[in-house]
Chain A
Amino acid sequence: MGLFFYYFTRFADHFILIYSSILFSTYFILSFFSALDILNYIRKNSFIDHRSILNAPSAPSVSIIAPAYNEAATIVENVRSLLNIHYVNFEVIIVNDGSKDNSLDLMKEAYQLEPVDYAIELKLESKPIRAIYKSKLPGIGKLIVVDKVNGGKADALNAGINVSNYNLFAAIDVDCILEYESLLKMVKPFMEQKPDKEVIAVGGVVRIANSCEVRDGKIIKVNLPEELLPRVQVLEYIRAFLMGRMAWSRLNGLILISGAFGMFNKKIAIEAGGYNHKTVGEDMELVIRMRRLMEERKKKYCVVYLPDPLCWTEAPSSFNILSRQRNRWTRGTAETLLIHKKLMLNPKYGFLGMISLPYWFLFEWMAPIVETLAFIYLIIMTFLGILNVEMFFTLFFVIYTFAIMYSASAILFDELSYYQYKQKRDVFRLLSTAMIEPLIIHPLTVYYAIRGNLDLMTGAKSWGEMTRKGFGTPKPN
């Protein structure tokens, strides 16, 4: 027993050390690739006028699909904002996913909607559609409202795809605020695709809109969130979007495009089977399935990621809502990885099977579990009185300094690329947030992720309602 215990503790010590070292190294590598790609992107963009697309005879048409569930408080304004997007050929499809509130009535009244005889081709499975509405008002011809039986976000998106008329579709959260040129920027990679390499999906950076000033559905002043929780998420988003996904895109290994805003090749999305109803991580699952399809067909393809801030969203500002969000994210990741376990370490699926999915398994899904187990191990060691205090504190300090350094790099990335937070005090507030985050917020997000895993094991399927506060309006002078 004593010998077993000795070897077990030796193994645990080494495992923690090796796991952390690999994790840190991958972060370093990803940041490096990301920096290169952002630099290249910014240089390229300095020669680009996205407005060229507006007059181009070949500008692709886009269907914007926005599922809405109990959005009565903001739906009319949000639809207006979507209708005012700066683009040429597009339609806006709002899918009322069986809302229990009066969202549909409000839209009917505001846009004078009337039912139309729409022949819907059921290319993807979805819950029954009750009616399709168009506006009587002149100038609102781009709007299509679909009223359907509640089936969840994936189901609503599938219904929207069935109704859509164009070859590209953008899936968007109805309460997101899009940047003025976001659609132009998203369409460009599809226009740049070469005949031998198809662009199957494009994603962009999502930013936190808490404390920003919003007028008529547009961000007029970017502010750093006043509250700590959203401010921590600013750091998280910069790290994830600018430093993580950008690098994965450069390596052509990106498997997640945020559900808040992404654009897809409709034909391939349909051939891949559309959004999966059985997971709460439908955004990631669709990208993996589209990639899987292309790999199986042995066709060259890419998933492009743009570092431009394209879409603004409200981050949870209460621990309760954050817990539900993180719980759902964990379940979504785990469910998706389980659905596609066949691809894991399968050389037939190239980079996707050999690198992307194993990385997500080891360092996205497993990281909170490893952290928790390490913590429990430390407690047991302390109780048994055999904790190597020097080792513990040194390791803790290394991890803590690494976390701050990584966040400081993220702040620098943002500073040198998009320079969103211009007030002098913003840098210091972000840096102080970086120091607090690993001690206070990170343990909580690990806890929420563990709860997510437990819910996954017990079969909990809830989406986890997101109660929004709404965006701030400019203060009167």
Chain B
Amino acid sequence: MKFNPDSAALWFEDLQRYTHTLPLHIRILILIAAVFILLIVLLIGIIISSRVYKTKQHLYKTYIQKKYQPILTSILFDDDERLLSPDLVKLFDPKDLYKQPFRNFILEELQLLRQNFRGETGERIDLLYRKLSFDKDSLKKLKHFRWYVKAKGMRELAMMNIVEAYQHITPLIHNRSGILRMEARIALMKLSTNDHLAFLGQESQPLTEWDKANIYSMLSTMSDVELPDFSRWLHASNETVVTFCISMIGVFKQKQSIPSLIQLMQNGSDASKIEIIKVLKVLQAKEAEPALVAMYATSNGEVQSQIIDALEVLASAKSISFLKSILITLKKDYRKGIVAIRTLQKLGNEGLSAINEIAAMPSENFELLLAHANDQRI
């Protein structure tokens, strides 16, 4: 069948005439449906283009990988002198070298390698990164207005040890974006030459537990650096910095800070108190026992639970009457009772006779708690 433009035009005219006879609201609805159909076509187009783009990208990556894998392997792993030569760039096709997809791909590869290699190979990766001028790209990213581009740049610079970037990164620890602040801290820890945690003194925003986990995670990978004395920040104005440093004293067993911790425990915030009590338990700071017992009555429920927990390790015979009174008055919080019983059990005959005395008293739940405490499987 042949297409006849005249009959199509006639058909279109008929349609137009017909739609003009329809009421306005129906014409509006037809228009809306037409918009929806257009949008459907557009969405399908985007979906298919996205698939095509993904496939093309994959093919391009495979092509580049095939082309440059031997060169990268040779210059990074085989002591290839060409890495040091000024002609290094000649190993790369100029058509590729200045193309953004190529640079992105090579940069990704270098980052992946850098994550897995340290020592001499790591240094060679850093050198190649500089020689291909990726450091300039990353520094440019630091000035970008989008937070995720900035963060990407910072990550690259930190990973490739570009020490000169330190001064550019420092102001970013006060940025509005939490991710940027986090990346800035990690970068500063990596790039600083001596005081790796100096930024803690400048922290203006509260550190979340997630921030703390990341700082600790970074710190635990830096086995070659000297750890600071964390008691240095125990009186920082940012309370979350204080609690972080308290927990680090425990993690890195900085026992010399125990007196400062006991002192802070008596007048610090509840959050600091909880953290300090946990750390005193970890450090087995027996000298904290009297202070813990003394502050129990004036503390809130959470701090009280932590005190009982800590006494499991720190208690001596001096705490028996205290623990006994806890058990006699205990109405709820079974966990506290179970820990108190277990602590008494550890305190030898005196502790056991205290348990027997309480058992002889009328109590709703002591028998239950005792049975639980005696069951070593739970």
Contacts and interface: CB of A to CB of B under 8 A. Distances in A.
Interface in B350-375: 365, 368-369, 371-372, 374-375
A37 to B, nearest CB: 15
B36 A398 contact: yes
A408 B43 contact: yes
Contact of B372 (A58, A117, A402, A419): A117
A415 B32 contact: no
Contacts of B216: 52, 55-57
Contacts of B206: 194-195
B48 A427 contact: yes
B43 A53 contact: no
Contacts of B36: 398, 401-402, 404-405
B1 interface: no
A297 interface: no
Contacts of B15: none
B40 interface: yes
B174 interface: no
Interface stretch (B60-68, B131-139, B207-215, B222-230): B207-215
A57 B148 contact: no
Interface stretch (A43-51, A94-102, A234-242, A273-281): A43-51
Interface stretch (B2-10, B82-90, B317-325, B333-341): B333-341
Contacts of B112: none
Given A404-B40, A412-B46, A415-B47, A57 B33 contact: no
Contact of A165 (B151, B178, B335, B375): B335
Contact of A408 (B26, B40, B371): B40
Chain A's interface size range is 35 or more
Nearest to A431: B44
A53 B213 contact: yes
Contacts of A119: 334, 337-338, 365, 368-369, 371-372
A439 interface: no
A394 B47 contact: no
Q: Which of B40, B217, B335 has the most CB of A within 10 A?
A: B40
Contacts of B378: 116-118, 134
Contact of B375 (A55, A116, A398, A424): A116
B332 A412 contact: no
B47 A47 contact: no
Contacts of A193: 208-209
Interface in A117-171: 117-121, 134, 165
A317 interface: no
Interface in A55-111: 55-60
Nearest to A190: B209
Given A116-B377, A398-B36, A411-B47, A58 B209 contact: yes
B208 A398 contact: no
Contacts of A17: 25
A390 B22 contact: yes
Contacts of A419: 54
A43 B178 CA distance: 13
A192 B209 contact: yes
Interface string B36-59: 110110011011101100100000
A131 to B, nearest CB: 13
Contacts of B295: none
B43 A52 contact: no
Contact of B212 (A56, A114, A427): A56
Residue among A48, A117, A119, A121 with max Cβ neighbours from chain B (10 Å): A119
Q: For chain B, which range describes its interface: under 10, 10 to 19, 20 to 34, or 35 or more residues?
A: 35 or more
Contacts of B297: none
A117 B51 CA distance: 59
A395 B29 contact: yes
Interface string B156-187: 00000000000000000000001100110000
A121 B47 contact: no
Given A191-B213, A402-B36, A408 B183 contact: no
A373 interface: no
A416 B54 CA distance: 10
B263 interface: no
A11 interface: no
Given A55-B220, A58-B209, A194-B208, A47 B371 contact: no
Contacts of A190: 209
Contacts of B369: 119
A205 to B, nearest CB: 19
A188 B47 CA distance: 32
Contacts of B50: 412, 415-416
Contacts of B335: 121, 165
Contacts of B47: 408, 411-412, 415, 427
Contact of A390 (B26, B179, B214, B368): B26
Of residues B37, B209, B216, which shows the largest number of chain A Cβ atoms within 10 Å of its Cβ? B209
Nearest to A43: B148
B285 to A, nearest CB: 17
Interface string A14-58: 000100000000000000000000000001101111011101111
Contacts of A395: 29
Interface string A379-420: 000000000001100110110011011001101100110010
Contacts of B372: 117-119
A443 to B, nearest CB: 20
Contacts of B377: 114, 116, 134
A58 B212 contact: yes
B176 to A, nearest CB: 13
B51 A398 contact: no
Contacts of A431: 44
B113 interface: no
B223 to A, nearest CB: 13
B213 A59 contact: yes
A398 B32 contact: yes
Contacts of B37: 401
B173 to A, nearest CB: 15
Contacts of B122: none
A134 B334 CA distance: 19
B46 A394 contact: no
A398 B210 contact: no
Contacts of B152: 47
11 contacts: A56-B209, A56-B213, A117-B372, A119-B372, A121-B333, A134-B378, A191-B208, A192-B208, A390-B26, A401-B40, A415-B47
Interface of A: 17, 43-44, 46-49, 51-53, 55-60, 114, 116-121, 134, 165, 188, 190-195, 390-391, 394-395, 397-398, 401-402, 404-405, 408-409, 411-412, 415-416, 419, 424, 427, 431
Given A119-B334, A119-B369, 10 more contacts: A52-B217, A53-B213, A121-B333, A190-B209, A191-B213, A192-B178, A195-B206, A394-B29, A408-B43, A408-B44
Which are the 7 A-B pairs with shortest beta-carbon distances? A56-B213, A401-B36, A117-B371, A119-B372, A191-B209, A52-B217, A191-B210
